[in-house]
Structure 1
Amino acid sequence: MPLGPLVKDLREALGYSQARLADLLCASADHATVTRETVSRWEHGTRNPGPFWLRHLAAVLEVPLEVLEDAKVNRRRFLTNAAATAIAPVVASDLIRSGFTSALAEDRPGLDEWRDKLVTYGRDYMSLGAAEIQKRLSLDLLVLQQQLETPGLWDVAAKLMTLYGKTFPGSDGAKAATWYRIAAEAADRSQNDETRVWVRGRAAIALGYEGAGLGMADLFASQAMAISDKPSLGRLNAIMGRAHVAALRGDRTTALRLLREGRHVFDRIGSEEQTSDYAVPWWRMNVFVSLMSARLGDERTAVAAQEQARAELPASLPRFTTHLDLHRGLMLAKAGDQQGGIAYAQQALSALPPEKHSLTLRLLMEEIRGRGH
C-alpha cells in the first residue's frame, strides 16, 4: 500500500479528521506548521512528507517509522524480496536451492498438502520457538510463492504469512507490520471474506497483545470488522485486539465495552481445538482477558481469568503458563510494586527453557519494566 492511502487509513482508524491530524502534528513538532491541505496532498499522493514530518506522522499515528518509510518508497515486495531482507536465520544458498528445487520438481505440493502444512504450523507455533518456525516457514513460503495461481492457494499463503509475521516482534521496526500488510493483500486475493477477516483480526490481536504498533492494530481491527459483522474467530481477534489497544491508551470504558462484545462473539464461535494458533479455545480467551485486565489494573478480573485459563491450559504449552505469570508480574507493577513485579516475572521467564521463549514474552517483560508502550 502506498504512503498516501496508508496515512488515510490510519487516520480514519483513529477517528481523526485531516484538520485534527494536522493540529496533532503541529503540537508534536513543537508547533511547526502543517495544514489540513498539506495532509490532503499527502493522502492523495500529490506531495510526500519529508523525513521530519514522516517521523511525526509515525508518532501521532502510533506506528513504527519504518512502516511509513517502507510505504513511501512503495516497495511492492512480495516473498522473494522480503526473504532477502527479512530472513536472518536462513542461509541465502538454502533459500535459492529450495526455490529452484521446487521449480524443477514435477510433483509440486497440491492444495490439500498445503492445507495439511497449515494445520501443522498452527499447532507447532504454540510449542516451538520463533526461530525454528521462521526458518522452516521461510522455505515453504518460497516454494508456495511459485504456485499462487488459485484463490485456495492465496488463502493458505495469507494464513502462513500471518503466522510468519508473528515470528518478528511488533517493536522490531516494520517487519511484523509489513508481513501483516502483505498477508492482508494475499487474503484479498483468496476471495474468501472469512480469511480476509481472520488475517486482519489475527494481526490486530498480535500487535495489541504485544503493545506495539497500536495504530496498525487499530487499522487491521477496523478493516476486519468492516468486511463482515458475522461472528467468527477473525472478528473475535479483531475485537480483542482493539480492546487491548484501548486498555493501553487508558480508555477503560471502550476496553470494557469491547471485552463484553468479545465475550458475546466467543460464546458463539469459541474453538474446540486446544493447541493451534488458528484457534481460540476457552483457556486462550482467558489469556487475552488476563492481560487486558492487568493493563487496566482490574486485579479481580485478571486473577479470575488466570485461574480459569490454568484450569484448561494443556500441559504441552508451558509458554502460555509463563504468559499468565508475566501478567501477574504486570499487576504487581501496576499496583506500585514494580521491583516485586519484575522479580516475579523474571523468575517465571527464567524457569521456562530458553528454546521455548517467544518474542511476545520479551515484549511483555519490557512492559513490566516500564519500557513498553
Structure 2
Amino acid sequence: MVVTERAPAISRPPVFSLPALYIAKDFAKEFTSAHFKEAEYENFDALKLAVALSWYNYVLSEDGLQSARQTQIKLSNLITEEREASSPFNPLPTIGIEIESPNKPLRMKPVLFDEYARFFDKIGMPRNKINKSFVEFFDGDPSYWEFSPPPSFSARVQSTIISQLIRGNFVPHLQDSQDPDDIKKYLSNKLVSLHINLGIPPKVGLKYGYQLYSNRDLNIFVSSFAVGFTSPKRLECRQNKKSFFKIRVGTQTPKSLWSPGRIEVVSMEMRDQSAYRALRQIQLVAVALFAHLENPNSAFGRIWQEAELELFYLYTGTGYISETDELKDNNTVKQMARDKKVVDATRAILNRQALKVSAFIAKQKTAA
C-alpha cells in the first residue's frame, strides 16, 4: 500500500471588504482617541492600525456581543500598555517590524496587488520597497507585499498587528505545520522573514554612530536572538549572509526630539508563536544593551553585562567560538541554531534577563 503524503493546508485568500474597513477605521478612531488628548493622538499610528485590524477581523467574523466585549477589553489593555511605554521616562526603545509576505500561495496578479494597495493605504499601513510597484524577485517568483507598520512604543502592539494580519489571511500561512521545510516548499523559498527595528537612543547614537557595526556587544545581542529564535533553514536561505543587522534612518517620536537611527535586525523569522516572545524579549533586552553602551555601570547596563557573559561562556564552552571570535558569522550561527541544547540555553538566558529588565521597569514605575 502506497501512503501519499498530505500537503499541509494553506490559509485561504484574504477578504477585502471596504464596508467592513470603514466600520473598523471609524471604530479605531473613536475608541483610541477617547484615551488620549488631541495633541497626543497623532503619535500612535501603529496602535490605531492594530485596533483597526482587530476590529476589521471581528466585523468579518460575525461573532456576537460577547466577542465584541472581549475584543474591546483586550484593546483597552493594549492602549494602556502602549501609552505607558510612550513615556519619555520609560526606557523601552521604539520597535517596528517588516514582514515579507510569502509568494507561493497566491501568485501576484495586478488585480491582487491593487486590492492590497487599496486596502492597506486606507487602513494606514505604510508601503515599503517591494509594494511600491509590481516586482519580480531573484528566484523568478513574484512577491506581492511587504508589511511595514509604523513603529510603536510597546512590542505588544506589533505582535497584535502580526496576529491580526495572520488572522485575516493577509500573510499566507500553513494551518497545520510550522516545519521550515514545509514553509519553504509551500510558502516561500526564503521562508517568512521578520525584520525587527529598534530605535537607537539619542545618547547612544551620538556616542557610537556607525561604529555600532563593529560593536562586540551589539553583535552578540543580535546573533543570540538569531540562535534562539531563527531556524537553521531560514539562516541558510538568507539573501545577505554578511550581517545580522543594519543601521537605518530612524523615525522621530515623542521619546526623542531627533532620531539617530534604528537597528534593523534582519535575521529573524515569522514561523510560530515564538516570534511574539522574540519581539517582547528583544525590546526588553535592548534596554539593558543600550544602557550598557551609554553607561556600563548603570543598573540596566549591569543586566546586559551579566547576559553577555552568560552567552559568551555558553558559546565558547560549547566550542562554537573561541574567546577572541566575534559572533557574527552566519554559518556559525546556523550550526548553533541546529544544537537544541544551545538554542534552549540561549532562550533561557534571554528570557531571564528580559524578566529582570521588566521587573526593574515596573519597580521604577511604582517608585514614581
Structure 2 length normalisation: TM-score? Answer: 0.29
| Structure number with higher strand proportion | 2
If asked which structure has higher relative contact order (CA below 8 Å, sep 6+), I would say 2
Structure 1 length normalisation: TM-score? Answer: 0.29
